[in-house]
Amino acid sequence: MTMDARRIKGIIYDCDGVLVDSVESNVAYYNHILTRFDLPVLDESWMNLVLTGTGKGVLEALFQGSPFVGDALELQRQLPPEAFLDLVKPEPRIHEVLRLVRMRYHTAVATNRGKSLVPLLEMLELKDLFDVIVTSGDVTRHKPDPQCVSIILERLGLEPGEVLYVGDSDVDRETAARAGAPFAAYRNTSLKADLHLPDHTHLLRVLDLSPGTFER
């Protein structure tokens, strides 16, 4: 996929690792459930799944072969959406960048995060900066299936080549590719992408959106 910046009318963002730094929060969330069943806490080998998978999918993997998988899923259902969200931090300058991007482009979120997304965006004062928000609860097939992108395109009245998908993982890369949308890799140079973003302000320069505002 080759990106033509002149065609872009919308920016689709992944959430975890792109809009927010949620590593500490996600680890605390799943460790809380694991320790309730006297299981070992997460190690580094689980980080990719914890940051990209759905809550149900992560727990089914963590409890694979365990007789407690059903109980773990029930405990997850009982946890309030706001659990451990106080540990989430917005990515640097994301508010400023989104306000500028919205002057010219539609904005959307496509994530495998579920019921906690809206409370999270509200807590960080990000919710009103997006035209469309699609969570795991809004689709029947989760990323890397491109259903979430298709929903966004339909709601915005755009074609795949008219949006740029910004993500930080191979799941995001595959989602964009299957949707037919150009892909920008956020702070992950190992991913094959049409564009690499070392930070969010770099996108402003690509889109020619008042780059002088963010000169250091």
pLDDT by residue for the chain (216 residues), tens only, comes to 567 888 999 999 999 999 999 999 999 999 999 999 999 999 999 988 888 888 899 999 999 989 999 999 999 999 998 899 999 999 999 999 999 999 999 999 999 999 999 999 999 999 999 999 999 999 999 999 999 999 999 999 999 999 999 999 999 999 999 999 999 999 999 999 999 999 999 999 999 886 454 443
Query: Chain-centre distance of CA 203, in angstroms?
Result: 17
Q: Residue written as tokens 């300058």?
A: 93
The dihedral region occupied by 125, where left means phi > 0, alpha psi between -120 and 50, and beta the remainder, is left
Using the 3D structure, point to which of 47, 67, 86 is the last residue of a domain. 86
Give the residue from 164, 90, 102 showing the smallest Cα distance to 130. Answer: 102
Amino acid at the residue 107: T
Query: Are 104 and 166 members of one domain?
Result: yes
Backbone angles phi, psi at 175, to 5 degrees: -60, -50
Q: What's 108's domain CATH number?
A: 3.40.50.1000
Mutual angle of helices 69-78 and 23-36, in 10-degree steps: 130
pLDDT at 216: 39
Query: Are 62 and 74 members of one domain?
Result: yes
CA distances from 125 to 20, 109, 128 (A): 12, 14, 7
Query: Are 103 and 28 members of one domain?
Result: no
Query: Are 13 and 28 members of one domain?
Result: no
Query: Are 189 and 202 members of one domain?
Result: yes
Query: Are 53 and 93 members of one domain?
Result: no
This model's pTM is above 0.85: yes
pLDDT at 2: 63
Using the 3D structure, point to which of 71, 86, 101 is the last residue of a domain. 86
Q: Which residues, listed in sequence order, are joined to residue 167 by a DSSP beta bridge?
A: 185
- Residue 181, domain extent: 5-21+88-214
Query: Are 39 and 138 members of one domain?
Result: no
Query: Are 62 and 15 members of one domain?
Result: no
Number of domains observed in the structure of the chain: 2
Q: How many other CB atoms are there within 10 angstroms of residue 119's CB atom? A: 15
Query: Are 121 and 210 members of one domain?
Result: yes
Query: Are 117 and 148 members of one domain?
Result: yes
Measured between its terminal Cα atoms, the distance across the chain in Å is 32
37, two tokens:
């069943």
Query: Are 193 and 122 members of one domain?
Result: yes
Query: Are 166 and 115 members of one domain?
Result: yes
